[in-house]
Amino acid sequence: MTYRAPKGTDDILPPESAVWVEAERAFLDLAERYGYGLVLTPMFESTELFSRGIGEDTEVVEKQMYTFTDKGGRSLTLRPEATASVVRAIIQAGGVIGTFKGSYWGPMFRYERPQKGRRRQFSQAGIEYLGEDAPGADVEVIEFGYRYLEMLGVPDVEVQLNSIGDAADRSDYRGELIAFLESRRGDLSEDAVRRLHENPMRVLDSKADAAAVADAPTPIEHLSKETAEHFAAVRAGLDAASIPYRIAPTLVRGLDYYNRTVWEYVPLGFDAAQSSVGGGGRYDPLFEMLGGKPTAAVGLAMGLDRILLAREETAPTPALDAFVIMVETERRPVATVLVRRLRDQGLRLDMTAGDRSVSAQFKAADRAGAANALVIGEEWDQGRVTARDLATGGQALIAVEEIETWLRR
RNA sequence: GUGGCCGUAGCUCAGCCUGGUAGAGCGCCUGGUUGUGGUCCAGGAGGUCGCGGGUUCGAACCCCGUCGGCCACCCCA
């Protein structure tokens, strides 16, 4: 083995790659139907964009960034997530006029020890609803993610929902939480003690400390009248849209820009430690953090790798509608024309490029994943081909002009 | 960054404890079948045992190191 894909990266080859094509098409189609247009941004950005936007002392920025200096001396970073890029792009383009709904899809990069559902290069798809502070925007985005998982056939998805309030709500709450954690200091993990002052809410989300913080004060109990009303309206909207959810008072998210509504999608049957397949939240502070005008915003990110792991196995669909087989090498010119005509009609066709025995051509058809074989031999001189269903083995002589209809039967 | 398990044929793995001729299943190739794949039968090809060092008459096997994989912690999608 001379070369292999770098640690934590995967090659995805056919036929497995077909599910990625399907997932991407489904996402882009759903986004269009909800009115979200695709936003394409660079895969690397100035390092400062992420350290400012995501937060200096988050795990992602402290330890997980792929940062490098280019030949011009600029510090650049492969994007660990896309929201900061989308917001930067919108600010750069002049800011949001009214509202803006954008989607994205593509690879993200974080330097971590790989495990199930955690890769160094992974794919996220997401949407951002900008310039709308109404709870209806939160509801639409939560619903969008739920529908997407439904479309892809991910079973038993639970929406875990929480509100972490606004900055003003948290300034009082923060002191109370720190006091509580100090009182339990002896029961806390080393990491929790270290984070106690720099980012105390993160301790609520720690598996190691779940028992110690079971009766800790939670952000949802410390909402102002305004943020409590916003959250109640989000819940009412989800009820009206028939989206099931569970309130998760200890759910906090690891990026600094979130406020108010936060949520995650957890497939209950997914056997992996990294069980969240997507998540999102409101992030009203981010525009100002990145130097833009105050702009309300809510968005989500879906982890495609995890979604495809969590999904039920689906039977592979044939990769080709038909494979054309030539009995004599002189039939190649007409076979070539037939293949091109059927491809132009939207069918998936192939044939061997070199002259091979009929037996070898059938084997090639089978390996290519063809549903049918079309044999061109002496029957061609009567305007017919032999059409064989490779799954059942049944075959028939059909007229050339009926091939398309037969293949679409 | 920390820990556990694992690296042997293209793939999945046995062999390692107790050192002595490199194995299985699947896959692949050829033929049975010069107009029929997938199934069946017969035959065949394919391996510096991750890499480096040590111990030994002798190492896939024991020891040390190193690289890689998987899973978990941490963190997050």
8 A C-beta contact, residue A259 and residue A242: no
Q: Which two tokens stand for residue A310?
A: 């969590």
Work out if A382's Cβ lies within 7 angstroms of strand B: no
Residue (of A229, A231, A193) closest to A213 by Cα position: A193
A92 CA vs B48 C1’ separation (Å): 57
DSSP state of A118: B
Residue nearest to nucleotide B38 (CA to C1'): A366
* pLDDT given at position A269: 82
* pLDDT given at position A4: 79
- The identity of residue A95, as a single letter, is G
Work out if A158's Cβ lies within 7 angstroms of strand B: no
Residue (of A79, A73, A167) closest to A87 by Cα position: A79
Q: Which two tokens stand for residue A133?
A: 């502070």
A388 closest-nt by C1' vs CA: B36
DSSP state of A302: E
Task: Compute CA distances A211 → A189, A191, A206, A208, A222, whole Å.
Answer: 11, 15, 10, 8, 21
Break chain A down into helix, strand, coil percent, rounded to 5.
Answer: 40, 25, 40
Work out if A128's Cβ lies within 7 angstroms of strand B: no
Taking only the tens of pLDDT, chain A with its 409 residues reads 467 788 888 888 888 888 899 999 999 999 999 999 999 999 999 999 998 888 777 777 777 889 989 999 999 999 999 999 999 999 999 999 999 999 999 999 999 888 888 999 999 999 999 999 999 999 999 999 999 999 998 988 999 999 999 988 888 888 888 888 888 888 887 777 877 777 788 888 777 777 778 788 899 999 999 999 999 999 999 999 999 999 998 888 877 788 999 999 999 888 777 789 999 999 999 999 999 999 999 999 999 999 998 887 666 677 899 999 999 989 999 999 999 999 999 999 999 988 888 988 999 898 888 999 999 999 999 999 999 999 888 899 999 999 999 999 8
Residue nearest to nucleotide B72 (CA to C1'): A273
Helix (H) or strand (E) holding A384: strand A384-389
Task: Work out the angle between the directed axes of helices A83-92 and A47-54 (0-180°, nearest 10).
Answer: 110
Residue nearest to nucleotide B70 (CA to C1'): A115
Q: What is the value of ipTM here, to two decimals?
A: 0.83
8 A C-beta contact, residue A130 and residue A99: yes
**Whole-angstrom distance, CA of residue A85 vs CA of residue A342:** 43
Task: Compute CA distances A164 → A60, A206, A394, A409, whole Å.
Answer: 20, 16, 63, 55
Work out if A196's Cβ lies within 7 angstroms of strand B: no
Which nucleotides of chain B are near protein (any atom < 7 Å from a CB)? 1-3, 28-30, 33-38, 50, 68-77
* pLDDT given at position A313: 67
